[in-house]
Amino acid sequence: MGYQWPVLSTESLEGDPRLLQRAHAVLAWLVQHYAHSTPTDGSEPIRIPKSLAVPLVRVSKILRMAPILTFADTVLWNARPRDPRRPLSMDNIQIEKTFSGTEDEENFYKASASVELRGIEAIQIIHRYLNLDDPQDRINESGLRSDLLRLKSVLEELTELMEGVKKAVDPRVFYWQVRPWFNGSGSGGGQRWVYEGVAESAVVDTSGPSAGQSAIMHAIDAFLGIDHRQLRCPIPSVRKQHGDSAFMDRMRKYMPGLHRDFLDRIDDTQVTIKNVAMERNGLREAYNGAVKALKRLRDIHIRVACLYIVSMARSEPSDGLQRRETRGLDVARGTGGNHVASLLKAGRDATQKAILHLFVLGWVSY
């Protein structure tokens, strides 16, 4: 046998959330590199050495998130100020780690980080609503309308940022050189990974990173009352999964636990903004404006995903562009192992369904 690296203790990190986040990011990137760089004939699972697997699982349990590379590792904890004398902002971002070393991969993470930064205002709007102690505040039409209009504006800006990725990231580079690195254990029927030294290795969540793990979009959905359980999602598979709710619920497991706690708090709200808008016709238009802006964002997301994944699945690498082996990944799936087009369309349809009727002089409008 070759040299066995020792399993390092994580005890000295456990009182510092920032150190735990850093440890998760470093270990998750190392595991991803190891899994995708290990020579294999595909007949046996890829075995992640316990020197990486054990501390990653320990850190993940404390952070209450999946022991695999996640959206937090590739975006949230991978962005740094380009000028450390200034705070992190959309024009002051640099990316610390990439797999391919390409500018396209860096720009992909920057685009996602920009969405997260702009989305902070949406979180602030939601947080303020959750902190309204006086029930009368929740029927303050002027204040609530103002917040819904601001949320609509934020969603419109997020849509522009999402569209901007097409100018910054070459679809072929993303699909053939970047995306294969994101595949997790068993993604799309590929090889499974075994975490050595981890008793529950067979049941840990290890799908890999996805934009579906962003807490911001989950928070906006929960705040506006978008119900992903209502619609059937025609997944072209033997299992015939129904709706995109299972995917959305699964993606929460990949978030840091504190993010999930915030989403749970929104879910537990007794008087939702949708309830208030349903009872007060003066708020319906503002509420519907925010929902329609969210639908527009999802329309654009579908187009971007189809360009970068569905269309590229039928392409071949350009001359001089190295093709990374996908190791059995279903080429129509997204980076989190999901059927991207079907799931995104189901999410868009669930958003459309949330639009409230407007009652005007006895007529029903939409």
Domain parsing of the chain, residue ranges: 11-365
Highest mean pLDDT among 158-162, 228-232, 317-321: 158-162
pLDDT at residue 338 is higher than 70 = no
pLDDT at residue 42 is higher than 90 = no
**CATH T-level topology, domain 11-365:** Methane Monooxygenase Hydroxylase; Chain G, domain 1 (1.20.58)
Model pLDDT, residue 141: 79
Confidence of residue 327 (pLDDT cuts 50, 70, 90): very low
Q: In the chain, where does DSSP find H-type helix?
A: 17-37, 50-63, 71, 103-118, 120-130, 141-168, 171-173, 215-224, 245-252, 257-267, 273-279, 281-305, 340-353
Confidence of residue 18 (pLDDT cuts 50, 70, 90): very high
The residue among 366 and 300 whose pLDDT is bigger is: 300
Question: 309 CB contacts (<8 Å, ≥6 apart)?
Answer: 175, 179, 331, 332, 333, 334, 340
User: CA-to-CA distance for 284 and 254, rounded, in angstroms?
Assistant: 34
DSSP string, 121-167: HHHHHHHHHHT--SGGGGG-HHHHHHHHHHHHHHHHHHHHHHHHHHH
Average pLDDT, stretch 12-30?
96
Query: Per mean pLDDT, which range of 3-7, 214-218, 264-268 is the poorest?
Result: 3-7
pLDDT at residue 329 is higher than 60 = no
Q: Which residues sit opposite 160 in a β-bridge? A: none
Highest mean pLDDT among 5-9, 198-202, 335-339: 5-9
pLDDT at residue 241 is higher than 50 = no
For 111-162, how does the pLDDT look when each residue is reduced to its tens digit (9 = 90+)? Answer: 999 999 999 999 999 999 998 766 556 567 788 999 999 999 999 999 999 9
Confidence of residue 3 (pLDDT cuts 50, 70, 90): low
**Is the whole-model pTM more than 0.75?**
yes
Contact 329, 187 (CB under 8 A): yes
Contact 273, 295 (CB under 8 A): no
